[in-house]
Structure 1
């Protein structure tokens, strides 16, 4: 591993390159905070993919892309005379020190849960009116639901036992089924949302990250379906011309390879 001196030299090299690109490259010169935003979101998702694939070499590359974006935003911030990379680093350092009084102060905590509870209390003392202010509006709904539940739990608004949450899931499923029988589409959608919200909450109690769990299932389904497509091609067939029973043979085969 690199020494701290080498790490700092590498960051200095990146900042120098960023200065040069911003001054000399036609594409880099044109970029704004707004034009970079969607690209940054894509890069973060690519980091997530590398983590799920446990591909550390790819993760190194994707983290580099994210770091480039941080340097880019800081450069634009300095041009606007609003902030630079030092301000960014100092701001997060100050926040970490303030939010960890059990490390940098005299607060004593017993476990991780107490750390999280203190974190939310400290944020309210900083002037936030709601513990939910820190949940980004543009988060995907599944991730947002998980963050909402995690944050309110941090101030004690939570179920006491996992079985209570599971009972809530069953209750919401019953209500959904009742609305399906009535046929009111608007109410069906509401109750379906309640089912998802309660399932996501239950995932937290059984220590499962719902986003990761669903994405792993997505990848598994994709792999199995692509196996099915490949086998169909090997047999000179189109999926649209095959019966469900024929497709199911290959689908069951795929489970041996993708679990």
Structure 2
């Protein structure tokens, strides 16, 4: 049957149901979709997640709408694949989510006073389970460090404020400097990065957010530097670091005006 140019409507009481029915249809009609497994779809899930993040940071609503749709498709795919091979389905996924949110919002659902998120999650773990058990292995290193610190903070292992974390970061910076030409450098610079993540956390920001802002700022300034160099017929590859720094400082000065 030729379905070209045909309009399809996938029924369901809600958007998720329609997305699930779309995936079920694709699994029946498209050989590629039918061959996919939960594991084979992981790269697509990760890619679409990053594209959603890019759209958010770009402030582009149309792009975000499109990328959220792609992410929804991937989530629906995972649910459909799971329901084909196990007792998991959309209802069980939502039931688990609802139960978890009610337990973690006692103040909202009339079950008690507001409590810190990590403290509530820590209470859900069994007595024989360590605070750091079950950390997601697929997290990027900065986020993993952040989560480690959040969890140990929930049992009181933390600095009183950001000043303590700043002092620790300064200490680790000195140790990294002392190890600059030794085999210990990788360990010491790792400790420095871990301390900086802690500083960001206690300072009220996520390290990936802070680092991405720094990345964007650097890229923007360097692109201006390239443009300025072309305007003045300066060959970047042949220019001295002193000359490049002079252009860099000029750009920073213009931004302050």
- After TM superposition, is the score higher than 0.5? yes
- Aligned counterparts, 1:67-146, within 5 A: 67-109=72-114, 114-125=115-126, 129-146=129-146
Which residue is 1:3 aligned to?
Answer: none
Runs of 5+ in structure 1 lacking a partner? 1-5
State how far apart, in whole Å, the 1-side matches of 2:152 and 2:35 are. 42
| 1:56 equivalent in alignment to 2:61 | yes
Instruction: Output the TM-score relative to the length of structure 2.
Output: 0.84
Between 1:202-211 and 1:236-245, the stretch displaced more is 236-245
Give how far 1:227 is off.
2.7
Alignment of 1:221-236 (within 5 A): 221-234=218-231
Maintained 8 Å contact 2:12/2:18: no
> Is there any run of 5+ residues in structure 2 with no aligned partner, and where?
1-10
**Cα separation, 2, equivalents of 1:238 and 1:96:** 58
Counting only pairs closer than 5 Å after superposition, residues 1-259 of structure 1 correspond to structure 2 as 8-109=13-114, 114-125=115-126, 129-180=129-180, 183-185=181-183, 187-234=184-231, 238-255=235-252, 256=254
Aligned mates of 1:130, 1:193 — CA distance in 2? 23
Q: TM-score, normalised by structure 1?
A: 0.83
1:128/1:29 Cα in 2 relative to 1: closer, same or farther (>3 Å)? farther
Structure 1 CA distance for aligned equivalents of residues 212 and 172 of structure 2:
24
CA contact (8 A) 1:176 1:191 kept: yes
In 2: Cα distance, 1:246 partner to 1:168 partner: 36
Asked if 1 retains the 8 angstrom alpha-carbon contact of 2:82 and 2:88, the reply is yes
Gap change, CA 1:160 and 1:89, over 3 Å in 2 = same
Q: Pick closer, same or farther for the CA change 1:119–1:250 going to 2, 3 Å.
A: same
Contact 2:118 2:150 in 1 (8 A): no
Q: CA–CA distance in 2 between the matches of 1:142 and 1:216?
A: 14
Alignment partner, residue 3 of structure 2: none
Moved more, 239-248 or 79-88: 239-248
